[in-house]
Structures are given as C-alpha cells and as structure tokens.
A and B are shown apart, each in its own frame.
Chain A
C-alpha cells in the first residue's frame, strides 16, 4: 500500500522530501552535528532514489502528469473546465527525468563531500538547509509544467545559490560574488516574469502545454521568447552574459560550486524547454537556432581562452564551465536550426541534439568532480593559487587520480564520458557546418592544454616544504569524488547504453511537442 502511494506520488515526493529535509535540518542540527549530517545524507539519498524510480516510471510508461491539490491526475482537466487545465501540474517527461537524475546524483555526491569539507566551518545548519533548497529549486524547474511555477523554482534556486555563494566571509569577496549573482539572477528572474505575464495576458494560461497549443507567435510572443531566451541563457552562464560565473563559482565553497553547475544547467533546460516545447516550429527555428549556435560558439571559445591565463584554479574551472556550456548550446542549437527539415533532422540534427544533451549529464559529472578535487586541494593546502601550489601528487594520490579522470573527460579524451558526447557533437555538427566542428575541436585541445597546466601546477614537481603536513583528504570526501569518477568512466565505456536508455528519449521528448501537449491536454 505504501509502495503504491509512493509510486503514485513520485513527482511530489521528489520535491517534498528535500524541502522537508531543508526545513527540518536546522531543528535536527540542534540535537548534534552527527544527527544533522546523517539526516542530510539520508534526505539526499532518498531524493536520488525517488528520482531513479521516477526515471524508470517515465522511461517505461511515458510522461507522468501530476496534479497538485487534486486526488487524481485526471483532475488536471476537469470535465467542466472546457478542456482547460487548472491547478499546478508537474509534467515529467523523459527530458525532465534526465535532468532530475543528473541533479540528484550530483546532489548526493556533493552532500557526501560536504560532510567533511564543511566540518570545520560555522553555520552548517543553514548551509545544508540552503543546499537542499537549491536542490528543490533545480528539481522543481525541470519537472514543472507551469510557467509561473517554473519562475518560483527559478527564484528558489537563485536565492539559495546566492546565499550559498556568500556563505563564507573570506574578506568580503564571497559576499560580493553572492551579491553579483543575486542581482543578476533577480534581473533575469524579472524578465522571465515579464515573459510569463505576456503569456498570461494573451492566453489566459500559465500551463506550458496550453500556451504551446495556442502559440500564435505574434509580437508579444516574440518579445516573451527573447526575454526568456536571454535571461535563461544568462543564468546558464553563456557568453557574453557569463561574467558572474568566475566570481560566483570561485568564491562559493567547492561542493556548492559543483552544484551551481547543475543549477546553471537547469536554466539551460529552461532555454531548451522554451524553444522546443513552447514554440517549436512556430518560431523561425533557423534564426533562433543560429542565435543559440553563435552564443554557444562564443561561450566555447571565450570560456576556454579566458581559462588559460587564470591563476586561481576555481576561476580557471569556472571559465571551463562556460566553455562546456557552449558545446551543449552548439549541439542543441544545430538541432533547432534544422528542426523543420525532416531529412536534416534524421541525418544529423537528432545526433547533434543527443550529443548536446549527453554533454549536459557528462558535464555535471566531470565538472562536479573537478570542482570537488579543487575543494579537496583547498581543504588540505589552504590555497587555490596555482602559482603557490605544487608537488601535492606525492601525498594526495587519490585526489590526483580523480582530477586526472575529470580533466581527461572535460578535454574529450577517450575512454571518458566527455569524449563520447563530444564525438557526437563533432561529427553531427560537421555535417551542418565544418567550421563550427573545427572550432569545437580546437576548444577541446585548448581545454586539455589548460588542464595540463593545472595538473602540473598542483600535483607535479618536488614536495614543497610549505605543504609538508599535507595528507590525503578523509574518506567521505573521497567517496563524494569517487561516485562521480566512477560515473565518468562508466558513461564513457558504455555510451551506447546511456544514449539509448536516457538521452534519445530526452531528445525525442524535446522535439515532439505534440506528445507533450497530448500528455497534458489529452489527445490534442
């Protein structure tokens, strides 16, 4: 009976469990640190389990539509509403669960890592509560089928993220970075709200499926599209609106930074959801596709070229996060640019989209891993400055191995996961425009070059006297890194299985607007 109830309410539980976890964390923290740590680990693991169950449910039975405030999902469109859905609904399709599983895996790894990495810090109750709230925001953004609800979760995500960035004093730099993140996020959120207002004014609806079905693509729809597209692209850290990322990513605690990457990806999901599900072929897909491609290429190149001269390892990695977002935008942008051409879609468009989406989960794993290794280094050496670090490979062997796995993956070296998704992007994008593919490959070479610099600067060279007492990090931190490292390898060695099981359904869900609308409105 309980199992049946859980299975029926998975979409709500996916949010309710971490939300309840967040609210109870400060109370349990009053008992003891150990009790609170066990609690947040349990909540984070339970969220991962729920996401896994939901993923299996969606991939085996199709899109799950969940109605809040009603006994049955059938009440989404009551008989007397004239086919009009009301109440907040979650529309969880293959794309949503793809993002949810990625976020909850990283969420669990990050929590595991934080148990030790944050152990010497003050304010841990608030820290974990905010971390779980950020997870709520991310999961809500990717699961909701309601535009206003999307905005609410975007704000939860942004505010929890800004608070976490500013959670350490660090001579005031962290607070400044948090403020920048908060101001830009609020401005972006405001534009998203304006766009939602435009939809509501025209269609009397906030439900994504209803808006998609009635989309006219008039002037107001175009304005709404631009507001949503640019605001969410800014939140995802795309060039030239990426300036907040090096500040926020470098000043946040490393475990938070690993999760901020996923938070940014939730905004990237928003970009894709808007252009494919809300607008689809009603928009000029070639123009919007090219806008996304250009933003992607700029992100790739400017991100990696800014990474190379960095002295702070986390700033360097932050610029790489910008660069890798460019790959995702490029892959999915190419898919959008040829959306209306069935032959091109079949020939290379879907592969490009799948490559872009595959890169999302791969990036979440390897960039999460890299930021955690940066956290491990800071935990032991007390600095992130590449000009000061050196010789740590003698003592921190596991951290060095994990870093190598992450670095080789981000550079697109086989057999790690970054290679598999980049291969799909290179080859499909080449069919669209060879020059774009060549740029993508050059960016990968530059990525490898900058990670050689980091590897050499941190781990190579003689043992330095200032790091005499440095030892390997505790097991909880290693376990957090280890989970992501194993997934980086598994996704690289078994890419076909991941693509078939998870990525292809996600790409199809994005492209097939009709199925999304039909799932909510019933045979539209």
Chain B
C-alpha cells in the first residue's frame, strides 16, 4: 500500500501496517477466547458479585487500589535518590532563581574557559 510507507531511520525501520495486522490478530485471538466463555452470564444478578470465600464484600472504596499504593516499592528502593532530588523542588522562588543563575554561571565558565572555544 503506497499510502503507508516504511519509516527508515538508516539503521532500522518501522512499518505500521505490520503492527496494525499484529494488533488485529491479537484482538481476534482475545475475542475467540472470550467467545468460549460462559454464555449464561446475566448482568446485575448475584453471579456478577465477586466470590471472596463466603466473606462479605467490602465497601467499593476499600477494594480500589489507590494511586499512592502503586510503585511504592520503586520509590522505596530508590529512597536515597528521592531523598536528595525531591527537596530540590522546594517550591521557593528564590531557590529557582539561584538554580537558573547558577547554570548561567556554569555554562559561562565552560564556554568562555573551554579550550576549544
């Protein structure tokens, strides 16, 4: 198909047609699996409730995993990094100005003092 070309980067390529075909095949496989499921499912009846070994279903707000619970392990593992990087984002304007002027000074030293310049 001439309308959809392959994007060549010089080292590799990307053809959306192949990927779209792969997605369609994956969707068809998923649909086939789904279509073999129980056919007597009735929405809004007892059978739609979760089975929790006979225990009462908790409040909806208690079963939802909130955003703060996700990647807790990641931030805990990188605690040392986050302990240093988060306080830099102090919210204080004068700190921000200092960072800005500090970078101006640093780049000035590199450019004016650079051997190749």
Contacts and interface: CB of A to CB of B under 8 A. Distances in A.
Interface of A: 179-180, 183-184, 187-188, 191, 219, 222-223, 225-227, 229-231, 234, 240-241, 243-244, 246-247, 283-284, 286-288, 291, 302, 305-306, 308-309, 311, 347-348, 351, 355, 385-391, 414-415, 419-420, 423-424, 427-428, 430-431, 449-450, 452-454, 456-457, 461-466, 492-497, 499
Residue with the greatest number of chain B CB neighbours at <10 A, chosen from A463, A465, A496: A496
Given A191-B104, A309-B71, 5 more contacts: A230-B100, A305-B81, A351-B9, A391-B60, A449-B74
A90 to B, nearest CB: 30
A287 B64 contact: no
A456 B114 contact: no
24 contacts: A183-B93, A222-B112, A226-B111, A230-B104, A231-B104, A241-B99, A243-B95, A243-B96, A244-B96, A284-B117, A305-B78, A308-B75, A385-B67, A391-B60, A414-B14, A414-B19, A419-B14, A423-B14, A427-B11, A449-B71, A450-B71, A457-B70, A461-B65, A465-B61
B97 interface: yes
A321 to B, nearest CB: 15
Interface string B88-111: 111101011101100110011011
Contact of A306 (B3, B64, B89): B89
From A227, A302, A351, A390, residue with most partner B Cβ within 10 Å: A390
B104 A428 contact: no
B107 A291 contact: yes
A468 B66 CA distance: 18
A457 B100 contact: no
A226 B104 contact: yes
B10 A428 contact: yes
B108 to A, nearest CB: 5
B106 to A, nearest CB: 9
B68 A386 contact: yes
B30 interface: no
Contacts of B91: 247
A269 B74 CA distance: 35
A387 B63 CA distance: 13
Contacts of A291: 107, 110-111
Contacts of A308: 71, 74-75
A454 B5 CA distance: 34
A226 B16 contact: no
A423 B100 contact: no
Contacts of B20: 415, 493
B25 to A, nearest CB: 14
A405 to B, nearest CB: 13
B33 interface: no
A246 B100 CA distance: 16
Contacts of A234: 100, 103
B32 interface: no
A431 B11 contact: yes
A-B complex: 8 closest residue pairs judged by Cβ atoms: A386-B67, A457-B67, A461-B64, A496-B5, A427-B11, A462-B60, A453-B70, A243-B96
A300 to B, nearest CB: 14
B56 interface: no
B16 A493 contact: yes
A404 B93 CA distance: 35
Interface string B1-18: 001111111111010100
A100 B113 CA distance: 37
Contacts of B86: 306, 309
A466 B64 CA distance: 13
B11 A428 contact: yes
Contacts of B82: 305, 309
A496 to B, nearest CB: 4
A420 B8 CA distance: 10
B85 interface: yes
Given A180-B96, A284-B116, A493-B16, A241 B64 contact: no
Given A179-B93, A191-B104, A291-B107, A389 B75 contact: no
Contact of A464 (B11, B23, B61, B114): B61
A454 B14 CA distance: 28
Contacts of A387: 66-68
B1 to A, nearest CB: 11
A295 to B, nearest CB: 9
Contacts of B60: 391, 462-465
Contacts of B63: 461-462
A306 B117 CA distance: 35
Contacts of B110: 287, 291
A226 B108 contact: yes
Contact of B97 (A184, A284, A302, A496): A184
A426 B63 CA distance: 40
A191 to B, nearest CB: 7
Contacts of A187: 97, 100
A230 B103 contact: yes
A420 B14 CA distance: 7
Contacts of A191: 104
A462 B108 contact: no
